[in-house]
Amino acid sequence: MAQQYPEWIWQNGEIKPWKEATTHVMSHALHYGSSVFEGIRSYTTPDGAAIFRLTDHLHRLYQSARIYDMVLPHTADELAAACRDVIKKNELGAAYLRPVAYRGLGGFGLSAETPIDVAVAAWPMGPYLGAEALENGIDACVSSWQRFAPNTIPAGAKAGGNYLSGQLIAREARRLGFGEGIALASTGLLSEGAGENLFLVFDGVLHTTPASASILAGITRDTLKTLAREDGIEVVERDIPREYLYLADEILMCGTAAEITPIRSVDGKQVGAGKAGRVTRRLQELFFGLFDGRTNDRWGWLEPV
């Protein structure tokens, strides 16, 4: 089915029709990957539509920009307003938001000081890996592509160019019939999924890979760490060797797009009982409970549209 686009988009300070949000083919970002972006979800809640951890996502956007010496021509408050406006203008409730800042037209050299263009799009999006995946889990594989080493490209910046790595991992996995690919870091230890962080469960304890494993420090990962600890589930961040994927009681992937997706097999080997385990189910309950009122949002994560 052809992709349906929303009617309105925000670009460089104004809401305009989707089809008018164009950029020049010689824009720096198109050639060199010089963009930074966020993926944010809004949810419908009993108190109306709310953007999940908007402030934290925008904070990460500015941090990503700082790493690449990009100075955004808008404040975080202005971008937060843009996020709200684009949801309202498109009459969306639950949506996926995509703020992006990129080096535009203004020089062809790698270190050119171009203008920084900014856009915010919003569109309806269901579960990234499929609704069925949230319930029954996905079959994952370890990618033949490694993540970039920490002294090559900073994984902690959510920059456009990083997603060449993600594309190789995701496309290889899909080509081979898997739902998603898991990458090893340049150390040979576990890193993360193509666009998701990883949690493994051993004896009821959650284990997740550390920042030094070339991961993007996910906001969903942070959310799950907080919800789990609050619920009395221990969480440890540690180096994890590949074979632990074949020994874990449960594995899940998490991210704004993937939300909390159980992994039922890795490389054709069944994980635990081959379906979402007890800890994964509990985390799903707590996480999705934030949006239907079952989990009290003590942290102010739900930011009203």
Under the binding rule (CB under 6 A), the answer on residue 197 touching ligand PLP is yes
266: helix, strand or coil: strand
Under the binding rule (CB under 6 A), the answer on residue 157 touching ligand PLP is no
Under the binding rule (CB under 6 A), the answer on residue 35 touching ligand PLP is no
Query: CB of 197: closest distance to ligand PLP in angstroms?
Result: 5
CA atoms in the 13 A half-sphere facing the CB of 199 = 32
Residue numbers 60-89 binding ligand PLP by CB under 6 A: none
Distance, in Å, from the CA atom of 56 to the CA atom of 232, rounded to the nearest integer, reads: 24
Furthest C-alpha separation in the chain:
56
Among 139, 180, 196, 303, binds ligand PLP (CB under 6 A): 196
Under the binding rule (CB under 6 A), the answer on residue 219 touching ligand PLP is yes
Under the binding rule (CB under 6 A), the answer on residue 256 touching ligand PLP is yes
Amino acid at position 198, single letter: L
Under the binding rule (CB under 6 A), the answer on residue 6 touching ligand PLP is no
Residue 173 or residue 216: which is nearer to ligand PLP going by CB?
216
Distance, in Å, from the CA atom of 257 to the CA atom of 209, rounded to the nearest integer, reads: 19
Tokens found for residue 166: 């993600």
CB under 8 Å to 79, separation ≥6 — which residues?
58, 61, 72, 99, 118, 120
CB under 8 Å to 148, separation ≥6 — which residues?
155, 162, 165, 186, 214
Which segment (200-208, 210-218, 270-278, 292-300) binds ligand PLP by CB under 6 A? 210-218
Q: Which residue has the tokens 């997740």?
A: 208
Other Cβ atoms closer than 10 A to 55: 14
Which segment (19-27, 101-109, 211-219, 242-250) binds ligand PLP by CB under 6 A? 211-219
Q: Is 89 a catalytic residue?
A: no
Query: CB of 19: closest distance to ligand PLP in angstroms?
Result: 27
Among 195, 262, 272, 277, binds ligand PLP (CB under 6 A): 195
Under the binding rule (CB under 6 A), the answer on residue 192 touching ligand PLP is yes
Catalytic residue from among 16, 88, 89, 158: 158
Distance, in Å, from the CA atom of 115 to the CA atom of 73, rounded to the nearest integer, reads: 9
Tokens found for residue 265: 């097999």
Under the binding rule (CB under 6 A), the answer on residue 99 touching ligand PLP is no
> Which positions are annotated as active-site residues?
158
* Contact positions vs ligand PLP (CB under 6 A): 39, 166, 192, 195-197, 215-216, 218-221, 255-256
